[in-house]
Structure 1
């Protein structure tokens, strides 16, 4: 089981990212419609960089592959 990571967003960031992901969920198309979405994603990336630490000796590509495998839906 993966550890939990807590991140903090402003309410505006949360709403903009919610709309961005909701739109993707509805259309299966991922695209920036407003510069605020781009800014919110950049901010989120910065938050992730501060919060995430690789606890493995695996090279990064293998580490990400292992994370993806654990996150996928079971068939």
Structure 2
């Protein structure tokens, strides 16, 4: 395995939005669970990548859209 090769993960838009919001909250805090700066760098990179493809964070009704996405993700696993 070549470590410089990209790894692709597919997420639904709802999953991506929920993950994005969690990463924003995590990255805005002290992130006490990060053991190495490389881990923090990966979290920032994932957040940035999601931010570049998601439209919902720019919407005025973001909190409503996030709540809907969370409900759909929860319902999908129950």
Aligned length: 48
Instruction: State the structure with more CA Rg.
Output: 1
TM-score under structure 2 normalisation?
0.49
Q: Runs of 4 or more off by more than 2 Å in structure 1?
A: 10-14
Q: What does residue 71 of structure 2 align with?
A: 69
CA distance in 1, matches of 2:60, 2:52: 20
Unaligned runs of 5+ in 1: 1-9, 15-29
Structure 2 unaligned segments of length 5 or more: list them.
9-31
* Higher RCO by CA contacts (8 Å cutoff, separation 6 or greater): 2
- TM-score, normalising length: structure 1: 0.51
**Cα RMSD over matched residues?**
2.9
The residue that corresponds to 1:39 in the other structure is 41
